[in-house]
Amino acid sequence: MSGNVGTERRTIDPPPIIELQEFKNGEYIPIIEALNFVYVRASLYDRFGNYCLNDSQTNASRDFPNLLGEIIEPGLILDDEFGNSGTFFIFKDLSVRSPGVYMLKFILYNLESQVKDDELTYRYSIDVTLSSPIINILKPKDFPGMMISSDITKAFKNQGLKLTIRNRPLHT
């Protein structure tokens, strides 16, 4: 690795987007409702399914997490590239510190609050877990450049989401 190990990061491109759907009567149906206490958390795993909390390539692994950015995202009701509404979790700012072969695991949490004996408590449940395909994080010298933005990313940008759009490949 080159540069300051505390700040170096490689953006996950394209940004992971998860749509909340329900499997009903043999087909997937989008869930379109405000879910105030439902969120998805991203975690980084190696290709064998081992959790990668820290940057194992540096001596300061306890101080520098390997997955950086906004790792927890709320659901947003948006229209996809075809104009269909849905609840989406968009990880627009995820990056990885060390080159390697990884996968992302996404866990949907449902946070519930309750008042008992005048005391507010919170409880959460894990409702769904899913894993991404394998992703390759390259060294800067091997990186071919950012990809052209997908149609769904452009649709979300047009609805006011702060996303970087690339109409042509960006080469480093």
pLDDT at 2 over 50: no
Cα 18 to Cα 2: distance, rounded to the nearest angstrom: 33
Token digits for 120?
């507010």
- Predicted local distance difference test score (pLDDT) of residue 7: 56
In 3-state terms the chain splits into helix, strand, coil percentages (rounded to 5) of 5, 45, 45
| CATH 1.10.10.60 is held by the domain 10-139 | no
Q: Tens of pLDDT along 20-79?
A: 998 999 999 998 887 778 899 999 998 888 888 765 544 444 556 789 999 999 999 999
pLDDT of residue 81: 96
Among residues 114, 115, 135, 140, the alpha carbon closest in space to that of 16 is found at: 135
140: which DSSP letter? G
pLDDT (average), residues 144-150: 84
For tokens 């006011």, the residue is: 160
| Distance in angstroms (rounded) separating the CA atoms of residues 157 and 100 | 30
Instruction: Give the model's pLDDT for residue 54.
Output: 62
Q: pLDDT tens digits, residue range 91-144?
A: 999 999 888 899 999 999 988 777 778 887 777 777 888 999 999 988 888 888
pLDDT tens profile 104-114: 999 999 887 77
Predicted TM-score (pTM) of this structure: 0.81
- What is the pLDDT at residue 55? 54
Token pair of 115 as six digits: 């008042």
